[in-house]
Amino acid sequence: ETGVTQTPRHLVMGMTNKKSLKCEQHLGHNAMYWYKQSAKKPLELMFVYSLEERVENNSVPSRFSPECPNSSHLFLHLHTLQPEDSALYLCASSQDRVLSTEAFFGQGTRLTVV
């Protein structure tokens, strides 16, 4: 248990569905991240939030929409996804946007788009 909790753990959705991934951190951190991990590829940074403000958007398609209502919660809203979006989606948090200490990861959501 790293103090970062993600739900659901597994998700299967059709291409026309809308779903949301949730991340909650109990560490008092100020920065939160979404990463995508596809088979045989490095973790790819998608979004960074610092103090609830989006500070990084790594050219992610608009079918992925993040939301950070407060510094403890981060959502990733999904709509009209493609099969190639199937991957492990990992949430992470760090003390702040300057990585002077490590980032902590959640267990991830395994997403399958059918």
Chain residues in the site for other proteins (CB under 8 A): 2, 4, 9, 31, 40-43, 45, 48, 50, 55-56, 88, 90, 97-108, 110
CB of 66 vs other proteins, minimal distance in Å: 14
User: In this structure, are strands 109-113 and 10-13 parallel, antiparallel, or unpaired?
Assistant: parallel
Instruction: Supply the DSSP symbol for 27.
Output: S
Closest approach, Cβ 29 to other proteins, in A, equals 13
Which residue number, 12 or 18, has a Cβ lying nearer to other proteins? Answer: 12
Residue at 55: amino acid letter: V
Output the six-digit token pair for 40.
């045989």
Least separation in angstroms between residue 62's CB and other proteins is 21
Residue closer to other proteins by CB (options 3, 14) is 3
DSSP 85: G
| Rounded distance between C-alpha atoms, residue 27 and residue 36, angstroms | 22
Phi-psi region of 15 (alpha: psi -120 to 50; beta: other; left: phi over 0): alpha
Beta carbon nearer to other proteins, 15 or 58: 58
The distance of closest approach from Cβ of residue 96 to other proteins in the complex, given in angstroms and rounded to an integer, is 9
